[in-house]
Amino acid sequence: MVSAGVHRTRMEPQRSYPSHLDRATGTGSQVQLEVDGQAYFIDLLFYHLRLHCYFVIELKNGAFKPEYAGKLSFYLSAVDAAMRTPVDGPSIGVLICESRSGPTVEYTLQNINRPIGVSTYQATRELPEPLQSEVPSIEDLQEVVEKLRKELHETRQVQETDVEEP
């Protein structure tokens, strides 16, 4: 038996998604699927309005590993069993990794009869120009942390002196 529910354990991103997902509606992040009494969590789940199918997106740190495709295939089957209606097409899987090797991906996906794509991302330490004025600098955050530490230390000292005085 497969059941599905939304269980958000990460903060919901407040940003727009890439333009090729403009016909998709987000159904959630960390969507919980229960299969055989065990909970599994899909990183991102979208429903594409024009294609009439679900997109299951898995985000992975590091290089592509063949076992990721097996997990994604499992999620696709579970989503189809729990959420897919007769008018929906088969769910599509997207695996996003930090890097990938062409032959490893090709051999892994060669005999999988599910629509699965593998893509990469590039992490950067610099914020895009429009966000730089919206996000505090490291120095600002360090200053706040130091102030909080000082306040906490002072509060503890006051509490200790209150306990010592009868």
User: pTM (2 decimals)?
Assistant: 0.59
Average per-residue pLDDT for the chain: 75
Q: pLDDT tens for residues 140-158? A: 777 877 887 888 888 888 7
**What is the C-alpha separation between 42 and 53, in angstroms, rounded?**
16
Structural element, H or E, at residue 79:
helix 66-82
Q: Phi and psi for 122 in degrees, rounded to 5?
A: -125, 120
53 C-beta neighbours (distance < 10 Å), count: 20
Every domain of the chain and the residues it spans: 2-123, 131-166
User: Would you state the structure tokens that stand for residue 66, as one six-digit string?
Assistant: 């063949």
CATH architecture for the domain at 2-123: 3-Layer(aba) Sandwich (3.40)
